[in-house]
Chains A and B, each alone.
Chain A
């Protein structure tokens, strides 16, 4: 037992020592951090007015205005410049880039791109993107081969921010990244780079792997390339259902009503995600010839197609609403229910309920006919509520008569 006790005494000293170390570490860490933060704040208050004056046009160069900067001063100056770069545009933005080059911040971050710690490389890429110096394009392109996905992602974003044509090709290659989130982000970066990126994407599309192509289709819908529509229309008959669905969606995003006949064909696709996306796109395209097929799609066997078709009709204004009203008499229960829910959401039901109090007898008759259709559709929760809560007694009475006790169903 003696030796066990000795062991316990040793354990006691060991744990006590570790505890003391932890305690000291926590206290010293907190104290040094707070001191550094305080010093940085004071420096910021000193440097920020000078930097802002330069950004707003004072002097040709920032260096002479700040004097010789060291250690924390340099870090604070860089931070102030980057904070402002994030929301400034035009000349002020260019002056920030020039200041970052002049003060050596760009060069320092380029060196940091080769740091052995991945988060240091990622930080450098992020900051170079904000500095927006075109001189760094080659280094950032090289970063797209970094083994760490986070670093590649920051590099891609930085390239996107540089906004130069040389950035597009490496970004297209980055669409083949195995990380799905990275692919989506790169696609967004490319879409943000406009028609030039769209054209390059059209050229490179068929050599991309499937996942990259799906992301690229979305990208084509937003990049505003004149070559995109023809390609997207071709993709509506792609063997992959995700590509077909995304192509229909992208055509909807571009929004040219002339796409309607092609998109209409996909409303009969075997795969429901394609039909659902086609319905959504047709709503965006808004052509009258889509109303009939969309009304038919209200009875689709897939819930999402019905919902998207109803929403599309709703977004098409009077002609769409008229089709929804016709659907109230449909033999298909799902179509009737979708129509009621959408008409309610569009405020049409409320309009007709109000007309029950109209002094015009024809208007009243029309309203009564419409409300009877709603009642026949067996979706009467909203009407039942109006029957008890409507401000006008006449409306409550009329609704009460139509609904009758026990008639309302949900």
Chain B
């Protein structure tokens, strides 16, 4: 009996490893076909977009009395170092009518005092509609110097709560959420509002591109010279962002399945956001959750709507330069994705939700959520195959080479999209470094991100058990959320 059992176990293990390896190959083919499809769709769209905007009508949008005014919401928690510069930069935005609403979300540092001093703020008795529930508002401040600036001082409730307070007090039909530590380009509002002007009835939300500010020169809250970071880790993220935005989000947007608009910079129709109850405090990525909620609500209502990504309004943001910070950031993003998925699982494979239910959410389940596990288990199965003596070294090496080369292709393809469209990195040295890092990011960085996601999954499982203890996070550590990363 014993030898027979031993043979069966060995056989079973062998068969499992072989079957899993076959599954990995199939998975690899399917995943990369999706990436290729997204790239091709994005390529056509980028070319179309560039041709369409080769002479802009932004001056008309700027001058037109019919251009919708915008409320810019800036949630701030302990932002004393940069909040004044951020506001000075926002006040210089090239746009007709806009207001800035800063929400001081229970800061324990001198954020409010700095604002009061810099803009000569006075407490006012401004009246507003409390359409969304928020933590208590302690006071509303206005400036005699800057009539379009309002500061709300409120008890701490987290970023979502701060944004909801901003929505309550904002006056205009569109609002733009902006992170307090990001820099918005001068013409970004003109560019991001254009889809609303073209489709005023259907447009619900528009996202702009987020680029990495590390390595750029910033003066008076403006990016004066664009450059790549010196350190390797942020350059990897530059390549990753290019791929995620230019090759990922553009593709999803064309397929009408955009599930994420970065919290760092997005423009929304206020009435629709209020209709879904505003931002949600129960997930770690309020921006992703809001967009998914909007899709769910509008699909249920059978409304005609559009949620799109536009690749030329730029928001600059800082990328982590240390592995530990990157781990924290990615952990939060992936947890947020899992939380939103858990809240909206009914949309999965549900034809009622159109392309979102049939394509986008299944993609997230199969590739974004399972992908890291398949990748990590794939490495483990190779090791197992080696010890079981069934590893075909030639095949393995060829497969690894193909996988790496294909990853390099996707990254270089994103660089190509950048080069034929926006060309924000004009120097030859920048181009050379982008190409160089497009190769290198496939040899370690990508694998590291997969491990981060696996860890985030277990953190998500643990946190679900003590859901009530999640608490609220601050803003400094929050960053834009480039999910739908085509990896």
Contacts and interface: CB of A to CB of B under 8 A. Distances in A.
B412 A11 contact: no
A185 interface: yes
A35 interface: no
A381 B122 CA distance: 9
A103 to B, nearest CB: 20
Given A1-B395, A385-B123, A180 B419 contact: no
Contacts, number: 112
Given A9-B398, A180-B199, A15 B405 contact: yes
Q: Which one of B129, B137, B401 has the greatest number of beta carbons of chain A within 10 Å?
A: B401
Given A29-B420, A338-B127, A180 B412 contact: no
A30 B408 contact: no
Contacts of B402: 8, 11-12, 15
Interface in A379-400: 379-382, 384-385
Contacts of B54: 119, 123
A338 B127 CA distance: 7
Interface residues of A, number: 49
Dominant secondary structure at the A interface: helix
Contact of B124 (A23, A27, A188, A382): A382
B323 interface: no
Contact count band on B: 35 or more
Contacts of A26: 412, 415-416, 419, 431, 435
B398 A25 contact: no
Contacts of A269: none
Contacts of A30: 419, 428, 431
B50 to A, nearest CB: 9
A379 B201 contact: no
A4 interface: yes
A340 B125 contact: yes
Interface in B92-141: 122-127, 129, 137, 139-140
Interface in B380-424: 392, 394-395, 398-399, 401-402, 405-406, 408-409, 412-413, 415-416, 419-420
A187 B67 CA distance: 13
Nearest to B126: A341
Interface in A336-353: 337-338, 340-341, 344-345
A30 B413 CA distance: 15
Contacts of B350: none
Given A5-B394, A8-B395, A181-B199, A381 B66 contact: no
B431 A410 contact: no
Query: Among the interface residues B123, B197, B201, which one has the most CB atoms of the partner chain A within 10 A?
Result: B123
A380 B122 CA distance: 12
B52 interface: yes
B394 A22 contact: no
Given A341-B126, A382-B122, A188 B65 contact: yes
Contacts of B419: 26, 29-30
Contacts of B199: 180-181
A19 interface: yes
7 contacts: A5-B394, A22-B409, A119-B51, A119-B52, A345-B124, A381-B139, A384-B123
Interface of A: 1, 4-5, 8-9, 11-12, 15-16, 18-19, 22-23, 25-27, 29-30, 119, 123, 126, 150, 153, 157, 179-181, 184-185, 187-188, 218, 222, 303, 307, 334, 337-338, 340-341, 344-345, 379-382, 384-385, 410
Given A8-B402, A410-B125, 11 more contacts: A5-B395, A8-B395, A19-B408, A22-B413, A22-B416, A29-B419, A119-B54, A180-B199, A187-B66, A341-B125, A344-B124
